[in-house]
Amino acid sequence: SDPGLVARARAAKEALGDRVFVLGHHYQRDEVIAFADVTGDSFKLAKDAAARPQAEYIVFCGVHFMAESADILTADTQQVVLPDLAAGCSMADMATAEQVAECWDVLTEAGVAGTTVPVSYMNSSADIKAFTGRHGGTICTSSNARRALDWAFSQGEKVLFLPDQHLGRNTAVRDLGMSLDDCVVYNPHKPGGGLTPQQLRDAKMILWRGHCSVHGRFSLDSVDEVRARIPGVNVLVHPECKHEVVAAADHVGSTEHIIKTLEAAPAGSSWAVGTELNLVRRLANRFAEQDKQIVFLDRTVCFCSTMNRIDLPHLVWALESLVDGRVVNRIQVDAETEKYAKLALERMLALP
Protein backbone atom coordinates (compact mmCIF):
# COMPACT_ATOMS: atom_id res chain seq x y z
CA SER A 1 0.00 0.00 0.00
CA ASP A 2 0.89 3.68 -0.44
CA PRO A 3 3.88 4.49 1.86
CA GLY A 4 2.60 8.04 2.36
CA LEU A 5 -0.71 6.77 3.70
CA VAL A 6 1.01 4.19 5.90
CA ALA A 7 3.11 6.96 7.47
CA ARG A 8 0.02 9.15 7.98
CA ALA A 9 -1.93 6.33 9.62
CA ARG A 10 1.00 5.61 11.93
CA ALA A 11 1.40 9.29 12.86
CA ALA A 12 -2.32 9.74 13.57
CA LYS A 13 -2.44 6.63 15.74
CA GLU A 14 0.60 7.82 17.67
CA ALA A 15 -0.92 11.27 18.19
CA LEU A 16 -4.11 9.71 19.60
CA GLY A 17 -2.34 7.15 21.79
CA ASP A 18 -4.61 5.29 24.21
CA ARG A 19 -7.54 7.53 23.31
CA VAL A 20 -8.15 5.43 20.20
CA PHE A 21 -8.62 1.69 19.90
CA VAL A 22 -8.69 0.24 16.39
CA LEU A 23 -10.64 -2.98 15.87
CA GLY A 24 -10.02 -5.12 12.78
CA HIS A 25 -12.45 -7.82 11.71
CA HIS A 26 -10.86 -10.99 10.30
CA TYR A 27 -12.30 -10.21 6.84
CA GLN A 28 -10.59 -6.84 6.54
CA ARG A 29 -7.83 -6.02 4.04
CA ASP A 30 -4.18 -6.55 5.08
CA GLU A 31 -3.48 -2.80 4.78
CA VAL A 32 -6.15 -2.18 7.45
CA ILE A 33 -5.31 -5.16 9.68
CA ALA A 34 -1.77 -3.72 9.89
CA PHE A 35 -3.19 -0.90 12.06
CA ALA A 36 -5.59 -2.96 14.17
CA ASP A 37 -4.88 -3.08 17.91
CA VAL A 38 -6.87 -6.30 18.01
CA THR A 39 -8.42 -8.65 15.45
CA GLY A 40 -11.35 -10.99 15.85
CA ASP A 41 -14.90 -11.83 14.91
CA SER A 42 -17.64 -9.30 15.54
CA PHE A 43 -18.52 -10.46 19.05
CA LYS A 44 -14.94 -10.75 20.29
CA LEU A 45 -14.21 -7.26 18.97
CA ALA A 46 -17.21 -5.72 20.75
CA LYS A 47 -16.11 -7.33 24.01
CA ASP A 48 -12.51 -6.19 23.50
CA ALA A 49 -13.72 -2.61 23.01
CA ALA A 50 -15.80 -2.76 26.21
CA ALA A 51 -12.71 -3.94 28.09
CA ARG A 52 -10.88 -0.70 27.11
CA PRO A 53 -12.93 2.04 28.79
CA GLN A 54 -10.03 4.49 28.53
CA ALA A 55 -10.41 4.47 24.74
CA GLU A 56 -12.64 7.42 23.89
CA TYR A 57 -12.76 6.42 20.25
CA ILE A 58 -13.36 2.96 18.88
CA VAL A 59 -12.51 2.85 15.19
CA PHE A 60 -14.33 -0.20 13.91
CA CYS A 61 -12.84 -1.68 10.77
CA GLY A 62 -15.68 -4.01 9.82
CA VAL A 63 -19.30 -3.51 8.78
CA HIS A 64 -22.20 -1.44 10.11
CA PHE A 65 -23.96 -4.03 12.32
CA MET A 66 -20.64 -4.73 14.04
CA ALA A 67 -20.10 -1.06 14.85
CA GLU A 68 -23.66 -0.95 16.23
CA SER A 69 -22.94 -3.96 18.47
CA ALA A 70 -19.76 -2.29 19.69
CA ASP A 71 -21.75 0.86 20.52
CA ILE A 72 -24.32 -1.22 22.41
CA LEU A 73 -21.72 -3.07 24.47
CA THR A 74 -19.34 -0.19 25.21
CA ALA A 75 -19.76 2.67 27.67
CA ASP A 76 -21.73 5.74 26.53
CA THR A 77 -18.54 7.77 26.79
CA GLN A 78 -16.93 5.68 24.07
CA GLN A 79 -17.66 6.84 20.53
CA VAL A 80 -17.70 4.26 17.76
CA VAL A 81 -16.52 5.29 14.29
CA LEU A 82 -17.07 3.32 11.06
CA PRO A 83 -14.50 4.62 8.52
CA ASP A 84 -16.93 4.20 5.57
CA LEU A 85 -20.68 4.39 6.17
CA ALA A 86 -21.26 2.38 2.99
CA ALA A 87 -19.75 -0.67 4.67
CA GLY A 88 -23.01 -2.50 5.32
CA CYS A 89 -23.81 -6.20 5.26
CA SER A 90 -26.11 -7.62 2.62
CA MET A 91 -27.26 -10.36 5.02
CA ALA A 92 -28.15 -7.93 7.80
CA ASP A 93 -30.03 -5.80 5.24
CA MET A 94 -32.23 -8.80 4.33
CA ALA A 95 -34.22 -8.39 7.56
CA THR A 96 -35.67 -4.93 8.21
CA ALA A 97 -37.60 -3.91 11.33
CA GLU A 98 -40.83 -3.54 9.31
CA GLN A 99 -40.51 -6.97 7.71
CA VAL A 100 -39.82 -8.66 11.03
CA ALA A 101 -42.76 -6.90 12.70
CA GLU A 102 -44.98 -8.12 9.86
CA CYS A 103 -43.63 -11.66 10.29
CA TRP A 104 -44.53 -11.56 13.98
CA ASP A 105 -48.09 -10.56 12.99
CA VAL A 106 -48.22 -13.56 10.64
CA LEU A 107 -47.06 -15.86 13.45
CA THR A 108 -49.62 -14.30 15.78
CA GLU A 109 -52.44 -14.91 13.29
CA ALA A 110 -51.32 -18.52 12.88
CA GLY A 111 -51.52 -18.85 16.67
CA VAL A 112 -47.83 -19.69 17.14
CA ALA A 113 -46.23 -16.42 18.29
CA GLY A 114 -46.81 -17.29 21.95
CA THR A 115 -44.70 -20.45 21.67
CA THR A 116 -42.03 -19.06 19.33
CA VAL A 117 -38.67 -17.79 20.58
CA PRO A 118 -36.66 -15.52 18.26
CA VAL A 119 -32.96 -16.29 17.90
CA SER A 120 -31.01 -13.72 15.90
CA TYR A 121 -27.55 -14.07 14.52
CA MET A 122 -25.03 -11.41 15.54
CA ASN A 123 -25.07 -10.41 11.85
CA SER A 124 -28.25 -8.34 12.14
CA SER A 125 -29.11 -4.71 12.66
CA ALA A 126 -29.60 -3.23 16.15
CA ASP A 127 -33.34 -3.02 15.33
CA ILE A 128 -33.54 -6.78 14.82
CA LYS A 129 -31.57 -7.41 18.00
CA ALA A 130 -34.02 -5.16 19.85
CA PHE A 131 -37.00 -7.05 18.37
CA THR A 132 -35.38 -10.23 19.64
CA GLY A 133 -34.89 -8.81 23.12
CA ARG A 134 -38.49 -7.57 23.28
CA HIS A 135 -39.88 -10.99 22.40
CA GLY A 136 -37.89 -13.01 24.89
CA GLY A 137 -35.21 -14.19 22.49
CA THR A 138 -31.45 -14.30 22.34
CA ILE A 139 -28.61 -13.40 19.99
CA CYS A 140 -26.17 -16.05 18.82
CA THR A 141 -22.86 -16.21 17.01
CA SER A 142 -21.65 -19.02 14.82
CA SER A 143 -19.70 -20.34 17.83
CA ASN A 144 -22.66 -20.61 20.23
CA ALA A 145 -25.61 -21.17 17.86
CA ARG A 146 -26.13 -24.69 19.22
CA ARG A 147 -26.32 -23.52 22.83
CA ALA A 148 -28.63 -20.67 21.81
CA LEU A 149 -31.03 -23.09 20.09
CA ASP A 150 -30.94 -25.55 23.01
CA TRP A 151 -31.85 -22.69 25.32
CA ALA A 152 -34.59 -21.39 23.00
CA PHE A 153 -36.22 -24.82 22.80
CA SER A 154 -36.24 -24.95 26.59
CA GLN A 155 -38.27 -21.71 26.52
CA GLY A 156 -40.71 -22.47 23.71
CA GLU A 157 -41.75 -24.94 21.04
CA LYS A 158 -40.48 -23.14 17.98
CA VAL A 159 -37.66 -20.87 16.94
CA LEU A 160 -37.80 -17.96 14.52
CA PHE A 161 -34.19 -17.79 13.31
CA LEU A 162 -33.00 -14.48 11.81
CA PRO A 163 -31.57 -13.54 9.34
CA ASP A 164 -29.29 -16.34 8.06
CA GLN A 165 -31.27 -19.38 6.96
CA HIS A 166 -28.09 -21.42 6.46
CA LEU A 167 -26.69 -21.01 9.96
CA GLY A 168 -30.16 -21.77 11.35
CA ARG A 169 -30.68 -24.87 9.22
CA ASN A 170 -27.13 -26.18 9.67
CA THR A 171 -27.32 -25.85 13.44
CA ALA A 172 -30.79 -27.42 13.70
CA VAL A 173 -29.91 -30.39 11.50
CA ARG A 174 -26.27 -31.01 12.39
CA ASP A 175 -26.26 -30.15 16.08
CA LEU A 176 -29.86 -30.70 17.22
CA GLY A 177 -30.57 -33.69 14.99
CA MET A 178 -33.68 -32.20 13.37
CA SER A 179 -34.76 -33.18 9.90
CA LEU A 180 -34.85 -30.77 6.98
CA ASP A 181 -38.65 -31.13 7.10
CA ASP A 182 -38.71 -29.58 10.57
CA CYS A 183 -37.51 -26.31 8.95
CA VAL A 184 -39.55 -23.90 6.84
CA VAL A 185 -38.34 -20.73 5.16
CA TYR A 186 -40.20 -17.47 5.73
CA ASN A 187 -39.93 -15.24 2.67
CA PRO A 188 -40.50 -11.58 3.65
CA HIS A 189 -41.30 -10.69 0.04
CA LYS A 190 -44.37 -12.95 -0.11
CA PRO A 191 -47.70 -12.49 1.66
CA GLY A 192 -47.74 -14.56 4.82
CA GLY A 193 -44.07 -15.32 4.25
CA GLY A 194 -45.14 -17.73 1.49
CA LEU A 195 -46.27 -20.22 4.15
CA THR A 196 -49.67 -21.51 5.20
CA PRO A 197 -50.73 -21.24 8.86
CA GLN A 198 -50.61 -25.03 9.00
CA GLN A 199 -46.98 -25.08 7.79
CA LEU A 200 -46.11 -22.57 10.50
CA ARG A 201 -47.86 -24.71 13.11
CA ASP A 202 -46.05 -27.88 11.98
CA ALA A 203 -42.55 -26.37 11.77
CA LYS A 204 -39.99 -26.39 14.58
CA MET A 205 -37.60 -23.95 12.92
CA ILE A 206 -38.90 -20.95 11.03
CA LEU A 207 -35.90 -19.73 9.05
CA TRP A 208 -35.77 -16.19 7.74
CA ARG A 209 -34.96 -16.10 4.04
CA GLY A 210 -31.57 -14.40 4.35
CA HIS A 211 -28.07 -15.47 3.44
CA CYS A 212 -24.52 -14.22 3.18
CA SER A 213 -23.62 -13.12 -0.33
CA VAL A 214 -20.10 -14.52 0.12
CA HIS A 215 -20.54 -17.78 2.04
CA GLY A 216 -23.81 -18.58 0.26
CA ARG A 217 -21.94 -18.79 -3.02
CA PHE A 218 -19.79 -21.83 -2.23
CA SER A 219 -21.26 -24.87 -3.97
CA LEU A 220 -21.15 -28.63 -3.82
CA ASP A 221 -19.28 -28.49 -7.15
CA SER A 222 -16.50 -26.48 -5.55
CA VAL A 223 -16.10 -29.19 -2.88
CA ASP A 224 -16.01 -31.96 -5.52
CA GLU A 225 -13.60 -29.99 -7.68
CA VAL A 226 -11.09 -29.34 -4.89
CA ARG A 227 -11.21 -32.96 -3.71
CA ALA A 228 -10.38 -34.11 -7.26
CA ARG A 229 -7.62 -31.53 -7.62
CA ILE A 230 -5.92 -32.01 -4.21
CA PRO A 231 -6.02 -35.62 -3.02
CA GLY A 232 -6.42 -35.89 0.75
CA VAL A 233 -7.50 -32.24 1.13
CA ASN A 234 -9.48 -31.31 4.26
CA VAL A 235 -12.51 -29.18 3.47
CA LEU A 236 -13.18 -26.60 6.19
CA VAL A 237 -16.17 -24.27 5.87
CA HIS A 238 -18.13 -21.64 7.77
CA PRO A 239 -21.72 -22.55 8.84
CA GLU A 240 -23.08 -19.64 6.76
CA CYS A 241 -22.50 -21.93 3.76
CA LYS A 242 -25.42 -23.85 2.25
CA HIS A 243 -26.48 -27.07 3.95
CA GLU A 244 -25.30 -29.27 1.07
CA VAL A 245 -21.83 -27.68 1.24
CA VAL A 246 -21.61 -28.07 5.00
CA ALA A 247 -22.82 -31.70 4.71
CA ALA A 248 -20.03 -32.44 2.21
CA ALA A 249 -17.29 -30.72 4.22
CA ASP A 250 -14.92 -32.40 6.70
CA HIS A 251 -14.99 -29.60 9.27
CA VAL A 252 -17.40 -26.76 9.98
CA GLY A 253 -16.90 -23.79 12.26
CA SER A 254 -16.83 -20.06 12.94
CA THR A 255 -13.92 -17.89 11.81
CA GLU A 256 -12.25 -18.27 15.21
CA HIS A 257 -12.70 -22.05 14.93
CA ILE A 258 -11.26 -22.06 11.41
CA ILE A 259 -8.16 -20.19 12.60
CA LYS A 260 -7.65 -22.53 15.57
CA THR A 261 -8.12 -25.62 13.39
CA LEU A 262 -5.44 -24.42 10.97
CA GLU A 263 -3.10 -23.50 13.84
CA ALA A 264 -3.40 -27.06 15.15
CA ALA A 265 -3.13 -28.73 11.73
CA PRO A 266 -0.06 -30.92 11.13
CA ALA A 267 2.69 -29.91 8.73
CA GLY A 268 2.17 -31.41 5.31
CA SER A 269 -1.63 -31.22 5.51
CA SER A 270 -3.80 -29.56 2.86
CA TRP A 271 -6.88 -27.46 3.50
CA ALA A 272 -9.57 -25.95 1.29
CA VAL A 273 -11.25 -23.19 3.25
CA GLY A 274 -14.71 -21.78 2.56
CA THR A 275 -14.83 -18.38 4.18
CA GLU A 276 -13.97 -14.77 3.28
CA LEU A 277 -11.02 -14.41 0.91
CA ASN A 278 -9.00 -11.79 2.83
CA LEU A 279 -8.85 -14.16 5.81
CA VAL A 280 -8.06 -17.25 3.72
CA ARG A 281 -5.20 -15.47 1.93
CA ARG A 282 -3.76 -14.22 5.21
CA LEU A 283 -3.91 -17.72 6.70
CA ALA A 284 -2.37 -19.24 3.56
CA ASN A 285 0.58 -16.85 3.82
CA ARG A 286 0.92 -17.29 7.56
CA PHE A 287 1.05 -21.09 7.43
CA ALA A 288 2.98 -21.54 4.17
CA GLU A 289 6.30 -21.64 6.01
CA GLN A 290 4.96 -24.40 8.28
CA ASP A 291 4.31 -26.46 5.15
CA LYS A 292 0.52 -26.34 5.46
CA GLN A 293 -1.16 -25.90 2.12
CA ILE A 294 -4.20 -23.64 2.36
CA VAL A 295 -6.36 -22.87 -0.66
CA PHE A 296 -9.58 -20.95 -1.17
CA LEU A 297 -12.50 -23.35 -1.64
CA ASP A 298 -13.89 -21.75 -4.79
CA ARG A 299 -11.88 -19.59 -7.15
CA THR A 300 -15.01 -17.93 -8.52
CA VAL A 301 -16.06 -16.48 -5.14
CA CYS A 302 -14.82 -12.99 -4.27
CA PHE A 303 -14.11 -10.79 -1.28
CA CYS A 304 -16.95 -9.43 0.82
CA SER A 305 -17.35 -6.19 -1.13
CA THR A 306 -18.69 -4.20 1.81
CA MET A 307 -15.92 -5.36 4.16
CA ASN A 308 -13.46 -4.22 1.50
CA ARG A 309 -14.90 -0.71 1.49
CA ILE A 310 -12.83 -0.03 4.56
CA ASP A 311 -9.43 0.67 3.05
CA LEU A 312 -6.34 2.59 4.11
CA PRO A 313 -7.54 5.98 2.72
CA HIS A 314 -10.78 5.73 4.73
CA LEU A 315 -8.91 4.66 7.86
CA VAL A 316 -6.45 7.55 7.52
CA TRP A 317 -9.33 10.00 7.04
CA ALA A 318 -11.12 8.71 10.16
CA LEU A 319 -7.98 8.82 12.30
CA GLU A 320 -6.79 12.22 11.10
CA SER A 321 -10.26 13.65 11.72
CA LEU A 322 -10.09 12.41 15.32
CA VAL A 323 -6.67 14.04 15.70
CA ASP A 324 -8.34 17.29 14.56
CA GLY A 325 -11.08 16.80 17.16
CA ARG A 326 -13.79 15.86 14.66
CA VAL A 327 -15.64 12.58 15.19
CA VAL A 328 -16.70 11.48 11.71
CA ASN A 329 -19.08 8.61 10.83
CA ARG A 330 -20.12 8.01 14.40
CA ILE A 331 -22.40 4.99 14.86
CA GLN A 332 -24.83 5.58 17.68
CA VAL A 333 -27.75 3.33 18.53
CA ASP A 334 -30.69 5.17 20.15
CA ALA A 335 -31.33 4.48 23.83
CA GLU A 336 -34.59 2.54 23.41
CA THR A 337 -33.18 0.21 20.74
CA GLU A 338 -30.00 -0.20 22.73
CA LYS A 339 -31.90 -1.23 25.86
CA TYR A 340 -33.68 -4.17 24.21
CA ALA A 341 -30.77 -5.15 21.96
CA LYS A 342 -28.60 -5.32 25.05
CA LEU A 343 -31.17 -7.51 26.77
CA ALA A 344 -30.92 -10.01 23.89
CA LEU A 345 -27.11 -9.84 23.96
CA GLU A 346 -27.09 -10.38 27.72
CA ARG A 347 -29.25 -13.48 27.29
CA MET A 348 -26.57 -14.78 24.96
CA LEU A 349 -23.84 -14.04 27.51
CA ALA A 350 -25.84 -15.95 30.12
CA LEU A 351 -26.35 -19.06 27.94
CA PRO A 352 -25.53 -22.20 29.88
- Which residues in this chain contact ligand CIZ in the complex, by CB under 6 A? 25, 41-42, 122-123, 141-142, 212, 240, 255
Give residue 108's identity as a one-letter amino acid code. T
Phi then psi dihedrals of residue 103, to 5 deg = -60, -40
Residue nearest to ligand CIZ (CB): 41
Nearest distance, CB of residue 106 and ligand CIZ, angstroms:
28
What, of ligand SF4, ligand CIZ, none, does residue 122 touch, CB below 5 to 8 Å by kind? ligand CIZ
What, of ligand SF4, ligand CIZ, none, does residue 329 touch, CB below 5 to 8 Å by kind? none
Phi then psi dihedrals of residue 53, to 5 deg = -60, -20
What, of ligand CIZ, ligand SF4, none, does residue 213 touch, CB below 5 to 8 Å by kind? ligand SF4
Give the contact letters, 60-99, x = binds to ligand SF4 (CB under 6 A), - = no. ---x-------------------------xxx--------
Q: Is position 303 an interface residue for ligand SF4 (rule: CB under 6 A)?
A: no
Is the previous residue joined to 163 through a cis bond, with omega within 30 degrees of 0?
A: yes
Nearer to ligand SF4, 110 or 307 (CB): 307
What, of ligand CIZ, ligand SF4, none, does residue 42 touch, CB below 5 to 8 Å by kind? ligand CIZ
What, of ligand CIZ, ligand SF4, none, does residue 306 touch, CB below 5 to 8 Å by kind? ligand SF4
Site for ligand SF4 in 265-284 (CB under 6 A): 276
Nearest distance, CB of residue 27 and ligand SF4, angstroms:
6
Q: Is position 246 an interface residue for ligand SF4 (rule: CB under 6 A)?
A: no
Nearer to ligand SF4, 100 or 277 (CB): 277
Give residue 224's identity as a one-letter amino acid code. D
Q: Is position 152 an interface residue for ligand SF4 (rule: CB under 6 A)?
A: no
Q: Is position 119 an interface residue for ligand SF4 (rule: CB under 6 A)?
A: no
Q: Is position 122 an interface residue for ligand SF4 (rule: CB under 6 A)?
A: no
- For ligand SF4, which stretch binds (CB under 6 A), given 135-143, 193-201, 206-214, 328-336? 206-214
What, of ligand CIZ, ligand SF4, none, does residue 59 touch, CB below 5 to 8 Å by kind? none
Under the rule (CB under 6 A), what is the footprint of ligand SF4? 27, 63, 89-91, 123, 212-214, 276, 304, 306-307
